[in-house]
Amino acid sequence: MELALSLGAPAEVYDVVIIGGGPAGLSAALYAARAKLRTLVVDKHPRAGALAMTELIANYPGVDEELSGAELLARFRRQAEKFGAEVVEAQVLATQLTSDPKQVITSEGTYQGRTIIIAAGALGRSGSIPGEKEFIGRGVSYCAACDAAFFQGKDVAVIGDSREMPDELELIVRFARRVYLLPRKRLDEEVRAQVTGHASVELLERAQVKRIVGEGAVTGVEVVDEGEAKVIPVAGVFVYLSGSRPTTDFLDGSVEITAQGCIAADPRTGATNQPGVFAVGDVTCNEVRQAVVAAGQGALAALAADKYLRRAKRMRQQWS
């Protein structure tokens, strides 16, 4: 039998750990790597994020052929990796930004960085489903790897259609008897084929979720399906929703957040109130959400991180 053992924090410390693999994060990675900084990008998924979902991008300077957002991102990434940046695919769960080195706790383990650039984008959700908060830990879960086994042989609901939902569902179907899948919007064909490939999954695309109900623990999900209100009896509910709010749920409370929920950052450098922590791109609520703006901010933050690490007075130019 094989026993998976995680050793925890790797001993190595990066100069820069970048959270997010969109245009801001990967541009920061390019400039950081070119400044000879040990650079790591933690990216949730190459197809997650606002740019990755863009079918055609026509306003990125210098790119005049027909290119999808995902293809443009793949180029960003190749270029950053060419200069030595590392990219890991992992979900950031928590951060410790006041320690030295700072820590980024992810689904794949903990990474340490002397500086952190937050470029996590703005696909976070706002609000919650009625009953959701009440039943957290009593049947409501966000982590199939953690909790799916508790629902062995039981019926569960999966609410939402975020990018991680299909992968999470793969884990849930190993345990649950029946899975009611309740996406907010119509699934694209590829995802639909993947999820309906499981005999135990029942896709309810028309049903609208009203609330999570229970007594002490979850007992069901109230939905309206074709005008008819009903309760689907389930023992567990896994929630995978996304929205358009800055993604800041992994922060440790040490970084200033504005009343709008954005990270407060100096627009010239991305510097936050926390020394050595920078924020760029949509997570700072730019007035315009454009790849080219995010990329420019990423470059500035990398040079600012370099300046911080050198304790220098000025940023170093990269001429070529």
Partner 1 sequence: MLMLIKEKDRAVIREMFEALVRPVKLVVFTQGPVHLPGERPCEYCEQVVQLAKELGELTDKLDVEIVNFHTDKERVKEYGIQRIPAIAVVGDVDYGIRYYGIPGGFEFATLLEAIIDVSRGSADLADETLEKLSRIDSPVHIQVFVTPTCPYCPSAVRLAHQFAMVNEHITADMVEAQEFPELSRRYGVYGVPRTVINEETHIEGAVPESIAVLYVLQAAGKLNETEAQQLAAISR
Integer angstrom CA distances of residue 235 from 132, 166, 173, 180, 209 = 13, 20, 14, 11, 16
Residue 240 Cβ vs partner 1, minimum distance, rounded to whole Å:
15
Closer of 94 and 231 to partner 1 (Cβ): 94
Closer of 79 and 91 to partner 1 (Cβ): 91
Closer of 27 and 106 to partner 1 (Cβ): 106
Q: Which residues sit at the interface with partner 1, rule CB under 8 A?
A: 1, 3-9, 11, 93-94, 105-108, 136-141, 143, 145-147, 149-150, 216-218, 235-236, 252-253
Closer of 158 and 218 to partner 1 (Cβ): 218
Residue 149 Cβ vs partner 1, minimum distance, rounded to whole Å:
6
Strand 102-106 with 92-96, pairing: antiparallel
Residue 140 Cβ vs partner 1, minimum distance, rounded to whole Å:
7
Residue 260 Cβ vs partner 1, minimum distance, rounded to whole Å:
21
Number of Cβ within a 10 Å radius of residue 139: 25
**Element (H or E) spanning 213, and its range?**
strand 208-215
Residue 141 Cβ vs partner 1, minimum distance, rounded to whole Å:
5
User: Which amino acid belongs to residue 164?
Assistant: E
What SS3 class is residue 195? helix
Closer of 225 and 252 to partner 1 (Cβ): 252
Distance CA 211, CA 129 (A): 6
Number of Cβ within a 10 Å radius of residue 256: 13
